[in-house]
Amino acid sequence: MEQVRSLVSEVEQAVSAAMAAELTAELAEQDPLVRRSDHADFQSNVALALAKKAREKPRDLAQRLQPHLAAVPWLTGVELSGPGFLNITVADRAITKQLTQRAEQPRLGVAESQSRQVVVVDYSAPNIAKEMHVGHLRSTLIGDALVRILGFLGAEVVRQNHVGDWGTQFGMLIQYIFEHPEASWRNTEVGDTGREDATSALDALYRAARAEFDADAAFKERREPVTPCSPRKSS
């Protein structure tokens, strides 16, 4: 499969060619520092980075690079800005050409650059003693997006969603329920209120249990229920 070069890599190559024409071999090998720009399609800051080594002002160096870029037929504008920024505009036909090339490729011209790499992606890792919230959904969606991207790039992806914090948390919750038989947490007890369900009620009890666990050393050390609660009959 033929890989389609990205526009930014094409612009980088053009700036590197301009650097090779005007600078020493050592300086020409430096990163052309091409980035996306709010003022054009791309911007190169290389003149500011290399001016000291080239022993000239950044703007003067940028002016020397500018004509070489202006001569590239698929660049419609190369403007000098500020102390030495080069704002670069790509011709519409260059964008259309690349889109056409990508559309003709089964993988849209994207190489499997992560092949033979093993990547572990950790999802939301919820604490199952607590209620889940939008943060868990957000990190799960982000994790799944990363998995799909890395998989498309050829990586072997290990999907991990660690479900942790259940031993001590459930222990303190169960102990608290045994010691507070008056607490309402079953769906048959809280469902009719219209305000919460069993999960929300248990979450509230967990927070109460946590507070008692942190404040009462005796509660923390207890192993057996001191006042077992009897099962309630469903209404």
Amino acid at 208: A
Binned at pLDDT 50, 70 and 90, residue 2 comes out as low
What sign does the dihedral 102-106-107-109 (CA atoms) show? negative
Give the side-chain half-sphere CA count within 13 A for 212.
21
Binned at pLDDT 50, 70 and 90, residue 79 comes out as very high
Average pLDDT, the chain: 86
Reply yes or no on whether the pLDDT at 234 is more than 50. Answer: no
pLDDT tens string 201-224: 888 888 899 898 888 888 888 865
- A 10 A CB-CB count for 80 gives 15
State residue 165's pLDDT score: 62
pLDDT tens string 92-102: 999 999 999 88
- A 10 A CB-CB count for 131 gives 15
Interacting residues of 87 by C-beta distance below 8 A, sequence separation 6+: 37, 39, 40, 42, 43, 77, 78, 79, 80, 81
pLDDT tens string 125-166: 887 767 778 888 888 899 999 999 999 999 999 998 887 667
Residues with a catalytic annotation lie at 130, 133, 136
5 φ/ψ sector (left φ>0, alpha ψ -120 to 50, else beta)? beta
Interacting residues of 50 by C-beta distance below 8 A, sequence separation 6+: 19, 23, 27, 30, 61
How far is Cα 147 from Cα 192, in angstroms, rounded to an integer? 42
Reply yes or no on whether the pLDDT at 189 is more than 50. Answer: yes
Q: Give the CA diameter of the chain.
A: 88
State residue 235's pLDDT score: 42
Reply yes or no on whether the pLDDT at 63 is more than 60. Answer: yes
